[in-house]
Structure 1
């Protein structure tokens, strides 16, 4: 089986309101149309964390229109790389997928000052992921 022309990455956390939203936004921003990006939560929140929206806006990325999405088996099946961020055993497992678990603090209930270092860690990991996928960052 040949590798797809455009790799697909799924970011998963519990609420899809913080870490996975930031990771998806960075990958979309830095990878452009050379990577397909999804994010989802095992128990999605109603809205994206306001401190996360503010922290991302500080680096020029607007995620204010994003909405937390529920994790589906189809989303996992359609992805080449599945990156979990604290969702435990809620993520379905399919053979042949690449799974990574990024251990990051949860921004839930935190202010912007606490979210910034999490955001910066996520950007660093997304840049490393792009390098592993052989994709040069746009920005």
Structure 2
């Protein structure tokens, strides 16, 4: 089994979108992948615009709650993808997996900016799963 972690600061936007798309790709491709997500400073709830723009893609995350990512969450992760936070805030000593940094700045404000991030995250997750599938 492969384990992937998606982390951002609030776990209310980017990492939630990445997780939702990764779960979709895992299921579509029938891969044995464990996915964990969290934030270094979790928000109270997932951003409404994130719920809305994922809903446009047929993905419902309205019941999800942001959570803190911990060293225990990632100690056996094969890859940690960070979006706006430092892996040093939660990576356990001695961890030797792969770390990827996804810089995801929106050029528009509000929902349009969230859509831009959603589309970029969907593209990156798809590419990531193409790599994962090719390596197995």
TM-score tier by shorter-chain length is 0.7 to 0.9
Aligned counterpart, 2:123: 124
TM-score normalised by the chain length of structure 2: 0.87
Q: What's the TM-score once normalised by structure 1's chain length?
A: 0.85
The structural deviation recorded for 1:95 is: 3.2
Q: How does 1:32-51 map to 2 (within 5 A)?
A: 32=27, 34=31, 35-51=33-49
Gaps of 5+ in 1: 1-5
2:95 aligns to what?
95
Q: Distance in 2 between matches of 1:69 and 1:47?
A: 9
SS at 2:130 equivalent: helix
Unaligned runs of 5+ in 2: none
SS in 2 for 1:53: helix
Give the superposition deviation at 1:80: 1.0
Aligned-pair Cα RMSD in Å: 1.8
Which residue number corresponds to residue 15 of structure 1?
Answer: 10
The residue number in structure 2 matching 1:3 is none
Q: Deviation above 3 Å: which 4+ runs of structure 1? A: none
Match of 2:54 in 1: 56
